[in-house]
Structure 1
């Protein structure tokens, strides 16, 4: 009996060990470095000294950090709202389509989701290229001559918008397929009864679909907040945080500090603050999701 009770733990032990090695150890190492004087010299020869909270004081006393933090909040809010709304619309559409069209759309969503991040980002660079990009050509064809030769990546707001489109395009498939899976668990009799009682589509959605799927909506929102807030490859490949810092978020800020200034201690402090901000932002949502 005792060996049988230990068997499930033995099965998950490799996964737990791998997760601890690949996820927990780097985070703990970054936490330790954030309390040390760790520059290029310490990286090569070792011997980093403990400096307490000095790195965090330097970080929090700078105006640039607060600008980046605000920009990260705006970036996360815009993307998550668009992702959740569009994912919900697509999931509801999937539930209404016939089998053939539903399978085709789900396959397209899966392919978009499976596209490598760097490959998708490179494609978006081509699409929004100033002279030969398809987007400018299409806008000019529609009569918007102001976009002839328009340099999207020379303007901070335009670059921000392109990145939002890219991240939303990459994220909607996951949210839509997850929410559609939840929709399939709702008994059809509830919808039929609501229609018989004269309920409109909007009333049915808010009084039946949303209450039943509240936990799933909370889960998808939480996962998207994490994914969007820590988004790095798309921003770095497309703009490297520019122009003029218009697309610099906390992960990009941490990488630039560590890579350009070789301030691995200060970069680690930014990374740990990012983890703390996400934890504070998500803990109330996750607690509410568990209780309901």
Structure 2
């Protein structure tokens, strides 16, 4: 007796050989992000596009009255990149930025380490003092520092006269470019330290105490415990803080502009922010000023590239 075997079309399919269907990504996150992206596009994207367009135009004060701007291609960039004044200002800005970032990070980390050892009362007082410095408007800060270093009635000149016995009254701290940036650096660092201190304190407080105690029992010094244990725990935080500080201090404007109004010589104390203002608003050359601003944006993007790359690598792990 012969039997016919009915072939089942599904018999050849094995559960293990079926490719798994890719999960469809939900569009909900994009719907939630849409309002924010639209606001960013309007408030940030449009000005940036307009800035790039102006950098390729001969845009002067006449264009503000409705006169069409002439396209000049890369002429503005050529003029700026071949201008010795631009490179002098850019170099000065980088040197000043390195000075501010170094001492801001140093003092911020030291204060954060100090806060780890303070009791509750002193920690509260320290936090209030940091918050007051952080909350003070930049312009108000520079008015105060301008008064402290005032030529005739400044506190610093009065104290130096009392301590040294020499007559410091009448000494101008803002005429000399070196002392000008010393005063500006103190003001900028004073306001930037609280953010670094609070952020580093939040990160360092998460370091396991058992690990630190074990390292102390092994005979390591405080510096070794900080370098070998604490720093690896907060390396990502340090990276973010350094990059943010570089960006903030490289494009600083208010502090320098305010001190120039008090007594500084703008040609000798311009940083990249005030230089853009001088070329654009004071001289009326908006095309070259836009080109400088675009170059500054490119520099900022290059500085941020390392942080973005590291962040993407950490997300892939």
**TM-score for the superposition, normalised by structure 1:** 0.93
- 1:179 corresponds to 2:200: yes
- 1:279 corresponds to 2:301: yes
Partner of 1:277: helix, strand, or coil?
helix
Identify the match of residue 43 of structure 2 among 2, 22, 44: 22
- 1:38 corresponds to 2:67: no
Report the equivalent of 1:208: 229
The unaligned stretches of length 5 or more in structure 2 are: 1-25
How far off its partner does 1:6 sit? 5.0
Map residues 228-243 of structure 1 onto 2, 5 A cutoff: 228-239=249-260, 242-243=264-265
Note if contact 2:260-2:266 (Cα within 8 Å) is conserved in structure 1.
Answer: no
Structure 1 or 2, whichever has the larger Rg, is 2
How far off its partner does 1:146 sit? 4.9
In 1, Cα distance between the equivalents of 2:309 and 2:28? Answer: 30
The unaligned stretches of length 5 or more in structure 1 are: none
Higher helix share: 1
- 1:75 corresponds to 2:103: no
Report the equivalent of 2:158: 137
Partner of 2:164: helix, strand, or coil?
coil
In 2, Cα distance between the equivalents of 1:97 and 1:267? Answer: 49
Report the equivalent of 1:227: 248
- 1:256 corresponds to 2:285: no
Structure 1 vs Structure 2 CA RMSD: 1.9
Note if contact 1:156-1:244 (Cα within 8 Å) is conserved in structure 2.
Answer: no
In 1, Cα distance between the equivalents of 2:129 and 2:247? Answer: 24
How far off its partner does 1:289 sit? 5.4
**TM-score for the superposition, normalised by structure 2:** 0.86
In 2, Cα distance between the equivalents of 1:191 and 1:60? Answer: 52
In 2, Cα distance between the equivalents of 1:289 and 1:14? Answer: 25
Report the equivalent of 1:199: 220
Which sits farther off after the overlay, 58-67 or 245-254? 245-254
